[in-house]
Amino acid sequence: MKPFTKLTAKAAPLDMINIDTDIIIPKQFLKTVARTGLGVSAFYNLRYDDNGAENPDFSLNDPKHKGAEILITGDNFGCGSSREHAPWAILDMGIKCIISTSFADIFFNNSFKNGLLPIKLPKDQVDALMDEAKNSPNSLIEIDLEKQTITRGNKFSYQFEIDPFRKKCLLEGLDDIGLTMQKSEHIDAFEKQRANDKPWI
């Protein structure tokens, strides 16, 4: 997992509430266990028309928002069924941070485990960021995980909360496997001792 330290990027608005995981990545794309290749299918039913062409009315298809790495969205993002493919698809389409007033718990937890930073802010701050993304799409927003700040030049600066353990894992690029491998010496020592004590196993 890549470390997340500081991100300076454009933000795209997705002004919808209750975006569930089937909207994020529809069930027909869940056949893979690879973390890559899902980005093209993210938000499929919103993003494409019946002929497979890009829907010009979908905000993330707007040329002004191309290349955005921050997503500003509505309440209860990531609700619905549990699928780790949802953060995989969002990351694969280039989004590294999502800002909302609230997230569904499973999606929220899965995001951290895959290097995607979900940030909860009060509604007035999310609304201000949404307006900024809509009206000044080329403006760059800086997210500093170490300082836990979201800034846009001299225009605004917001603080956000994050669990210290999750923050450490993101800063160091540690997923569950990475955390386990930090204990590899202890694991190896245990395996050697068990082989000596119980060679029949």
Tell me: pLDDT of 190 over 90: no
- pLDDT tens for 47-59 read 999 999 999 999 9
pTM: 0.88
Tell me: pLDDT of 113 over 80: yes
Which runs of consecutive H residues, i.e. helices, occur in the chain? 21-24, 44-47, 85-92, 105-113, 123-135, 164-172, 176-181, 184-197
Let me know if residue 198 belongs to a domain. Answer: no
| Residue of 81, 84, 156, 78 whose CA lies nearest to 118 | 78
Let me know if residue 180 belongs to a domain. Answer: no
Let me know if residue 56 belongs to a domain. Answer: yes
CA–CA gap between residue 75 and residue 101 (Å, rounded)? 5
Tell me: pLDDT of 200 over 80: no
Let me know if residue 33 belongs to a domain. Answer: yes
State the CB neighbour count (10 A cutoff) for residue 112. Answer: 21
Let me know if residue 49 belongs to a domain. Answer: yes
Let me know if residue 188 belongs to a domain. Answer: no
Express as a percent the part of the chain with pLDDT over 90: 77
Tell me 68's DSSP state.
-
When pLDDT is averaged across residues 28-52 and rounded to a whole number, the result is 91
Instruction: Indicate the number of domains in the chain.
Output: 1
Let me know if residue 189 belongs to a domain. Answer: no
- pLDDT tens for 79-112 read 998 889 999 999 999 999 999 999 999 999 999 9
Q: What is the CATH number of the domain that holds 125?
A: 3.20.19.10
* Burial label, 90 (beta-carbon count in 10 A; 0-12, 13-18, 19+): buried
CA–CA gap between residue 79 and residue 123 (Å, rounded)? 18
Q: What Å distances lie between residue 182 and 5, 75, 163, 190, CA to CA?
A: 20, 36, 20, 14
Residue 175: band (very low, low, confident or very high) from pLDDT cuts 50, 70, 90:
confident
Tell me: pLDDT of 144 over 90: yes
Tell me: pLDDT of 154 over 90: no
Let me know if residue 119 belongs to a domain. Answer: yes
Which pLDDT does position 36 carry in this prediction? 87
Domain encompassing residue 79: 6-173
Residue 186: band (very low, low, confident or very high) from pLDDT cuts 50, 70, 90:
low
> How wide is the angle at C-alpha 98 spanned by C-alphas 64 and 130, nearest 5°?
50
